[in-house]
Structure 1
Amino acid sequence: MGGLTDDPAFLATTFVVIDFEATTPKGYPAQPIEVAALALRYEHGAWTAAGRPFASLIRPPAFAPVTPAVTAQTGLTPEQVRQAPTPAEALSALDRRFAAGKQYLLVAQHAATEANLIYNQREHCPVLARIDFLDTIPLAKYLVPGLPNHKLDTLLAHFAIKQPADRHRAYADVGVTAQVFLQLISAVDGDAQFSDLAALVKIAGRTAKCNMPAQSGLFDI
């Protein structure tokens, strides 16, 4: 490789692929029921895992039960999450994985979904909530514009990545999203349009909601 993967900022960054499964109760924001994360670094010309993967079920609040529709989508049942860690327990455990002074970017397929879930749980994961995103969808749109859509299943088929048996579980989806991400990085490496991390962020970056400027009131004096 070359170009992007020679950039010092790129080499200094740990890329954390993250995925949530959630339930969407009427009248409330989506509530996480599972989270998984996989940290990757590019070192000595190859990708390596940075530490152990993280995965946890999450017990949703009473107002956000696991519905039959969620079970049909994810395979998760109310019984599986009944004794799971609370959002505070699960997300604070994930938050502790991030070391002070290191540079991170979160990687997600349709990052807005993960960004909203993290923002709504920010009191439990204040470090995680301040990390910006790379979204695989705009990067894929830039690189393979002719696809009928850029959903994860479409990208898996395009890159000949095998569908996991437990697709729509957080850990499985993190694994295949990571594979898509590495394919995309391989495709842009050496492209003059992607000479450094800043160029990659310009195309695919998404600012964490906690890092967005606060909007003052319309009639503030």
Structure 2
Amino acid sequence: MRERIIIDFETTGLSPRLGDRATEVAAVVIDETGIVDRFQSLINAGRPIPPFIQQLTGISNAMIRQAPKAETVMRQLFAFIAGRPLVAHNASFDHGFLGAELDRIGESYPGGLLCSMKVARRIYPEAPNHRLATLIQHASIAVTGQYHRALADAEMTALLWLHMEQKLRHDFALPEVSLELMQRIQTAPCKGLGKCVDSFKRRACAA
């Protein structure tokens, strides 16, 4: 079965280039049957968490002081993802922190991350916005935990991704939804979903 990994980071701020570090990471494995495995850990990267982010996430400096060191967690995460395709909501954010934290342990992830937010903009153009919480409500998906905690956000992104795959199969009579199709959808014009899928189906039939 095709496995994909949904990844989510909580952090001290918005940019690793400005010295921000990861405070928590979660990775959720999905296949055609749903969620099949999980990884989650708080991260002690030696950088204090600003008060407003403590309030947003519920992750305190006291919690981080007792957490495993960043090097340990990232080596565990690197082994867990094992080169499998990665998905994240607002993937450029998570990709930046994944790359920065892996670079600190001398590793790198060979490839980019698929972005569930970009895909959702094409599949749910009628949604009020494309934040994760809005999309979960829009698609009538059950809330699994506290937003802005890595495992809950990864799980809900996983459920959203599976829901979007199911919607594509239903709406376009597709036997399956490949990662290649999702890659094409996330870069298609926002009002060009139908043309994108039809073009992909024609190419697949001609191959």
1:66 correspondence with 2:49:
yes
Q: Identify the structure with bigger relative contact order (alpha carbons < 8 Å, sequence gap 6+).
A: 1
Selected match of 2:21 from 19, 31, 39: 31
* 1:83 CA drift (Å): 1.9
- TM-score, structure 1 as length reference: 0.74
Question: 2:6 — aligned with what?
Answer: 17
1:105 correspondence with 2:95:
no
Structure 1: segments with no counterpart, 5+ residues: 1-10, 206-221
1:115 correspondence with 2:95:
yes
RMSD: 2.4
Selected match of 1:94 from 72, 77, 92: 77
Q: 3-state DSSP class of the match of 2:134?
A: helix
Q: 1:122 to 1:56 in 2, by over 3 A?
A: same
1:162 correspondence with 2:147:
no
Contact 1:109–1:152 under 8 Å retained in 2:
yes
Question: 2:180 — aligned with what?
Answer: 198
Q: 1:147 to 1:181 in 2, by over 3 A?
A: same
Q: 3-state DSSP class of the match of 2:24?
A: strand
Q: 1:125 to 1:97 in 2, by over 3 A?
A: farther
* 1:87 CA drift (Å): 1.3
Structure with the higher fraction of residues in helix conformation: 2
Question: 1:210 — aligned with what?
Answer: none
* 1:121 CA drift (Å): 1.4
- TM-score, structure 2 as length reference: 0.79
Selected match of 1:57 from 42, 50, 61: 42
Contact 1:21–1:32 under 8 Å retained in 2:
yes
Q: 3-state DSSP class of the match of 1:137?
A: helix
Q: 3-state DSSP class of the match of 2:165?
A: helix
Structure 2: segments with no counterpart, 5+ residues: 188-207
Q: 3-state DSSP class of the match of 2:3?
A: strand
The 2-side partners of 1:116 and 1:106 are apart by 13
Question: 1:135 — aligned with what?
Answer: 115
